[in-house]
Structure 1
Amino acid sequence: MPIPHADGPRLQRRLGVFDAVLIGLGAMIGAGIFTAPRPAAGAAGSGLLIGLAVAAVVAYCNATSSARLAACYPTSGGTYVYGRERLGEFWGYLAGWGFVVGKTASCAAMALTVGSYVWPQRPQVVAVAAVLILTAISFRGVQKSALLNRVIVTVVLMVLAGVVIAAITSPAADADRLRIGADTSIYGILQSAGLLFFAFAGYARIATLGEEVRDPARTIPRAVPLALAITLLVYTAVTIAVLAVLGASGLSSAVAPLADTMQAAGFPAGVPVVRIAAVVAALGALLALLLGVSRTAFAMARDRHLPPALAVIHSRFDVPHRAIIIVGLVVAALAATVDLRGAIGFSSFGVLAYYAIANIAASTLTPAEGRPARIVPVLGTLGCLILGVALPAESIVTGVFALALGAAAYGIRRALGARR
């Protein structure tokens, strides 16, 4: 029997399969493809493609579990709701907490990516401005956000196709650079998969917007695997193209990998186009992330795990405007202070914890509820745990501290409530 939760305002269902897929693509084929391959290549060396495959398998399991759960629980909050309903209030809370803190770091990373491409000398200034502008756009409603997302995804896909074509047809491309050499290890491959997972995790935006999707039992299970499949094809093509031109060592030391690929491939005129696309992609990913984090914060506030004042829907724009504003301000503050690489690692740890809970919750579904094959949630859970402990040490330490802080806050809240 579902665990009761607080009643509250509900969001309108406006999004179909097409928009849901594009929101997922906007989050996954966002700045991740422009930023994550560099640290991942530094970890895996010539084994980068194997790391990409591992990340894709874990992402597939997570996506399948999430889609089945979202069809059963079509409401805002994603795994925060699934964990609560299937495993208990604490696990739902911990999933929601991991998502909010991890994806808030992702928002900061996307904003800093914009800043580094627009104004390298003062990236924080641009990052903060980008957050505030997109927060204002999110405030105007999910349909306007989805419309902007369509434009962004279209532009980025066109530019990425140009990069792939330019790279594979260039005399600088060498298939020998794709071979696995002695510069890789199992640990390095797993660490690269954990870092690349940062770029795959955007399909959660579809689930966290479940309350705004039309016919969620049909739409979400279709949109999630479709968005993930398209993303995997794009990432594989781009990674092969970049490796063929730069090699693993060149990729790991590149300041702007895709722009450097165009330069090395003999297409310098394409460099500014790629830089502009990186900014556009980062803005698209940031927009999708702000939507997802604000909806999870809204759901947690509705259940009084965050201040109930955040569980309010604007009478005109039909959005959780207080949650949007608070999330935007927190992200702006982080963007002014954090480091890009650290933000990626911390985000990966928080989101892997979130999906571990999602897979465990999916394993409790019955066949009548659409339970996936048992191997899917088992492999997904193990994959999340393994990739989490393979991340850089500083990411693990800060991630464990953040989860412990959230668990402590939950315990204090319960203890105070018991005394009343």
Structure 2
Amino acid sequence: MSTQSRADQPELQRRLGVFDAVVIGLGSMIGAGIFVALTPAAAAAGSGTGLLVGLAVAAVVAYCNATSSAKLAARYPVSGGTYVYGRERLGDFWGYLAGWAFVVGKTASCAAMALTVGAYAWPAHANAVAVAAVVALTAVNYRGVQKSALLTRVIIAIVLAVLAFVVVASVSSPQADVGRLDIGADVTIGGVLQAAGLLFFAFAGYARIATLGEEVRDPARTIPRAIPLALGIALFVYTLVAVAVLAVLGADQLGASTAPLADAVRAAGVPWLVPVVQVGAAIAALGSLLALVLGVSRTVLAMARDHHLPHALAAVHPRFKVPHRAELAVAAVVVVIASTADVRDAIGFSSFGVLIYYAIANAAAWTLTSAEGRPRRIVPVVGLAGCVALAFALPMVSVTTGAAVIVIGALVYGLRRGLSSRSARLG
């Protein structure tokens, strides 16, 4: 089904400007990266130098993906992100596969973020708090994306203030030592790539902007401006925090920590900041969860419109103009996972799915013509190659599990097409 032929579908309301779109992207990137991905990335890198190089590699790949996504989103300003781009540029199967990878991987990420809220807010009852967080944020989303953007703006302000306290306390501490950055230390390609793949999980927040393409004002102008702005701010914050924490903990202690920023201010001799950091971590995870639910539900909406998922999920609320059934369906799955499991190990699996998603985005961007505003040719090439390299550099369990789920999705698609063809012949 082409984009033009869907004119009879109910549309979402265009409410978001550049500032709100940037805030939604930051709400996903900063929360996930600082409080979740930094520790395993440090462990994979093995040194401060390796971690910082991995951060730079992840940023380069993210920039390429952001540029490709921005060009595609300006061309196709509807909900669905790479699900739409892949379908329109590469064919129905590749669009479906991108949507499958995104929905499955990011649903697991939603549960991980909810459990992070519980782990910091009330560790003894982490699962119950996680479920409550999902229910509360779903209620906010249900009443309209503008209210979600306003809440995200408040969350970002709080989190950035907490991170500023951490950076200042760490770098001004007598315990800070530039030597712990291990500048010039030997690094391994495998360690850097694995660290970059894990850190990419943190940068993936700009996808929320592209998947909100149907809800931004003047998408051809807003989306290309919002994505690089959000990415640049996130990279700046990541670098500051990574350097500050490495200066007081070093790569080994950072890689072994369960609460690295709390441990950093404790090591810096400012223990009164520990509770502040814990609250900031919980709020950051809430911000990530808010943005993730928005992105996943919009992709579910787009896939349901094309009958790749139950068509009932394509409904748009007549008053609030949001995909309310898609949001409720996503929330229900996340609640089940968050109430029964610890999904922190799903970070690697989520990274694999998101990297496959962006590999398809770069392949789609390659097909744009100059008249359609294509990026420089090197951008989708580096983006595609980088996504594949980082995906298969992840821990083996993440690669095997992620690949198995992608294959299952492809088989489901093939079975569905086969049944449809058979029905058409019999009809």
- Offset at 1:350? 0.4
| Partner Cα separation in structure 2 for residue 30 and residue 370 of structure 1 | 32
**Could you tell me which residue of structure 1 aligns to residue 31 of structure 2?**
30
1:103 and 1:289 in contact (8 A); partners too: yes
1:142 and 1:319 in contact (8 A); partners too: yes
Matched, 1:284 2:283: no
SS at match of 2:35: helix
Distance 1:321 1:132, change over 3 A: same
Matched, 1:376 2:374: no
**Could you tell me which residue of structure 2 aligns to residue 83 of structure 1?**
86
1:31 and 1:113 in contact (8 A); partners too: no
| Amino acid paired to 1:193 | A
TM-score scaled by structure 1? 0.98
Matched, 1:142 2:150: no
2:55 and 2:199 in contact (8 A); partners too: yes
**Could you tell me which residue of structure 2 aligns to residue 9 of structure 1?**
10
| Partner Cα separation in structure 1 for residue 228 and residue 118 of structure 2 | 32
Counterparts in 2 of 1:263-412, with a 5 A limit? 263-412=266-415
| Partner Cα separation in structure 2 for residue 337 and residue 377 of structure 1 | 40
SS at match of 1:29: helix
**Could you tell me which residue of structure 2 aligns to residue 70 of structure 1?**
73
Q: Deviations 1:5-35 (Å, cap 9, x if unpaired)?
A: 6552110100000000000000101132111
| Partner Cα separation in structure 1 for residue 129 and residue 331 of structure 2 | 14
Q: Deviations 1:162-190 (Å, cap 9, x if unpaired)?
A: 11111111101000011247674210111
**Could you tell me which residue of structure 1 aligns to residue 19 of structure 2?**
18
Distance 1:93 1:326, change over 3 A: same
What is the Cα-based RMSD across aligned positions, in Å?
1.4
| Partner Cα separation in structure 2 for residue 337 and residue 177 of structure 1 | 39
- Offset at 1:260? 0.7
| Partner Cα separation in structure 1 for residue 177 and residue 238 of structure 2 | 19
SS at match of 2:123: coil
Q: Deviations 1:373-404 (Å, cap 9, x if unpaired)?
A: 11100000000000000001111111111111
| Partner Cα separation in structure 1 for residue 245 and residue 190 of structure 2 | 23
1:172 and 1:265 in contact (8 A); partners too: yes
SS at match of 1:211: coil
Q: Which shows bigger deviation, 301-310 or 404-413?
A: 404-413
- Offset at 1:328? 0.3
Matched, 1:117 2:120: yes
Q: Deviations 1:269-310 (Å, cap 9, x if unpaired)?
A: 111011000000100110000001000000100011100000
Matched, 1:414 2:417: yes
| Amino acid paired to 2:13 | Q
| Partner Cα separation in structure 1 for residue 171 and residue 325 of structure 2 | 48
| Partner Cα separation in structure 2 for residue 182 and residue 235 of structure 1 | 21
**Could you tell me which residue of structure 1 aligns to residue 58 of structure 2?**
55
**Could you tell me which residue of structure 2 aligns to residue 239 of structure 1?**
242
1:3 and 1:88 in contact (8 A); partners too: no
Matched, 1:176 2:176: no
**Could you tell me which residue of structure 1 aligns to residue 46 of structure 2?**
45
1:70 and 1:220 in contact (8 A); partners too: yes
| Partner Cα separation in structure 2 for residue 184 and residue 250 of structure 1 | 17
| Partner Cα separation in structure 2 for residue 121 and residue 418 of structure 1 | 53
Q: Which shows bigger deviation, 25-34 or 143-152?
A: 25-34
| Partner Cα separation in structure 1 for residue 5 and residue 167 of structure 2 | 49
SS at match of 2:31: coil
Q: Deviations 1:233-290 (Å, cap 9, x if unpaired)?
A: 0000000000000000110111200011111111111110110000001001100000
- Offset at 1:336? 2.5
2:110 and 2:292 in contact (8 A); partners too: yes
**Could you tell me which residue of structure 1 aligns to residue 219 of structure 2?**
216
**Could you tell me which residue of structure 1 aligns to residue 200 of structure 2?**
197
**Could you tell me which residue of structure 2 aligns to residue 92 of structure 1?**
95
**Could you tell me which residue of structure 2 aligns to residue 251 of structure 1?**
254
- Offset at 1:339? 3.3
SS at match of 1:230: helix
- Offset at 1:161? 1.0
TM-score scaled by structure 2? 0.96
Q: What percentage of residue pairs aligned between the two structures are identical?
A: 70
| Amino acid paired to 2:392 | V
1:168 and 1:244 in contact (8 A); partners too: yes
2:33 and 2:238 in contact (8 A); partners too: no
| Amino acid paired to 2:258 | V
1:3 and 1:84 in contact (8 A); partners too: no
| Amino acid paired to 1:415 | G
SS at match of 1:336: helix
Q: Deviations 1:145-165 (Å, cap 9, x if unpaired)?
A: 011001001111111111111
- Offset at 1:232? 0.2
